[in-house]
Structure 1
C-alpha cells in the first residue's frame, strides 16, 4: 500500500476510450482490460499503470489526473478545506476497488485522492511506459509548498521521502495565462523518439524537450487533447 501523499494512480478522461487505447497502446506498449463501467485499465507487463475513462460530460476537460494515496479520504477532504482548498467531488466508492475524491488546491490545481480497497494503485512505476513523476505548475510555489507540506508532510519532507512530486512556477514552461495544474509524466527510454511517436500517432508537442532537475522532459498532448509529459532519465 502506498503511503499517504504519494502519487499512487493516474487516469485520463477521454471522449473516445477506444482511440485512447490505440494511441497509448502504440506509444507505451500498454494492454487493456475492462475495469469498471466504461473504464479500462492499462497494463504494462501485466501490471496496472493507469486507467482510461469515458468523459460523460462534454463540458468536462480532457485531462490526465494524478491521485494521491490516503488512508482516509473523508478526513483528507476535510483537511483540504481547512487548508484553503476545495473538494470538487466528495469521496465516493468505486466498485469495491477503493474510494476516490477530486479536490483543488488554493490556486485551483485539481488532483485526486485514492483510499485503497482491493486496488492498491500502480503495479509498476519508475520505468519506461509507467508513471514517473507529477509536476505541479503553480502561480505561487510558496503557497503550494505550504498547502501540500501541511497536507502530505511525511511524503514530501519526512525521513526517506521520495515524493515523485515537484512544484515549480507555471511560467517556467507555459505562458503566464496558463492556469495552475498538475502534469503527469510517463517514463520513456528516448525522449526524442517518444515525441516522434506522439506526432505520428496524431498528438502534438507543446513544450520541450528541456532539461529539468529530474530528467529530460517534453510536454505533449494525445490525439484527443489530453496533456501529459514524457520523461527520459
Structure 2
C-alpha cells in the first residue's frame, strides 16, 4: 500500500503505532531482529525518531522519550480527517486531550488523547503519510485490544466517536475491547495493547527472551487468534498474535 492512500483509513481505523523508548538504538536492535524491520529517519519534523520498515514499507515509529518520566509504551493512532474536530468530540464525551493537534510538516497532524478511564491513544490526520504501508501480516500491526474495567462505558464512548469503523464496515475490525481480568495485575490501568502478527508464536517468544525481553502473559486463545503478552528489552508491553 502506498503511503499516501489516506482513503484506506476511515475515521476510527487504527492506522499507525509508535513506541516511546529510552534508547532508540536498543529498540532498533530488538525489533529489527524480532520482526525483520529496517530503519530510516523520517525527517526533522519527527524529532528523535526513526521509521521502522518491512520490505521498505513503513510499519511503525520508534521515538526517544523527551522526558524520562514518561512511560515506555506502544501507542496506537486512530485515523481522522479532522483532528481538531475529533478532539472536541472526545472532550465532550468525557475524555481529554493530552497533547493538542500538532502538524508535522507535510506528513500530517497528530495528537494524544485519553478516554474517560484514562486509556491513552493517538489521533492521526493524514497528510503525505497515511499510515501503515503493510499490516495484517507477519512482522506488522494486526490488532489492538482495549483492556478496560468498564466495557459498557468503553463501547458507548468509542461507539459514538468511531461508529462507522467499529460497527459499519464490511471488513473485519482491527480494534477489540476486553475486561481487565485476574490474568493481569490488580494495579494495571486501562490501556490499549498493540498486537503484532507472527508466523510462529513459540519461536517468537523464544526470540523475545533471547533479545532481553520477557513474557508477561503466556499464550492464550482469543476470538481473533492465539496471543501472548510480552515486553521488549526496555519495558514496553505489546502482544504477539498468531492467527
TM-score by length of 1: 0.98
Mean alpha-carbon deviation: is it higher for 181-190 or for 169-178?
169-178
Number of the residue aligned with 2:209: 199
Number of the residue aligned with 1:77: 87
Relative distance call for 1:158 and 1:196 in structure 2 (3 A) is same
Residue 53 of structure 2, aligned match among 43, 47, 65:
43
How far apart are residue 172 of structure 1 and its match?
5.8
Per-residue CA deviations over 1:49-98 (Å, capped at 9, x if unaligned) read: 00000101000000000000000000000000000001010100112200
Number of the residue aligned with 2:135: 125
Residue 5 of structure 1, aligned match among 12, 25, 38:
12
Does the CA-based 8 Å contact 1:38-1:54 persist in structure 2? Answer: yes
Unaligned runs of 5+ in 2: 1-5
Number of the residue aligned with 2:151: 141
Structure 1 SS opposite 2:172: coil
Unaligned runs of 5+ in 1: none
Does the CA-based 8 Å contact 1:102-1:110 persist in structure 2? Answer: yes
Number of the residue aligned with 1:62: 72
Number of the residue aligned with 2:3: none
Residue 30 of structure 1, aligned match among 37, 49, 52:
37
Does the CA-based 8 Å contact 1:155-1:161 persist in structure 2? Answer: no
Structure 1 SS opposite 2:117: coil
Number of the residue aligned with 1:104: 114
Relative distance call for 1:41 and 1:159 in structure 2 (3 A) is closer
Rounded Cα–Cα distance in structure 1 between residues aligned with 2:104 and 2:194 = 22
TM-score by length of 2: 0.94
Does the CA-based 8 Å contact 1:66-1:184 persist in structure 2? Answer: yes
Structure 1 SS opposite 2:30: helix
Relative distance call for 1:43 and 1:175 in structure 2 (3 A) is same
RMSD in angstroms over aligned alpha carbons?
A: 0.9
How far apart are residue 161 of structure 1 and its match?
4.7
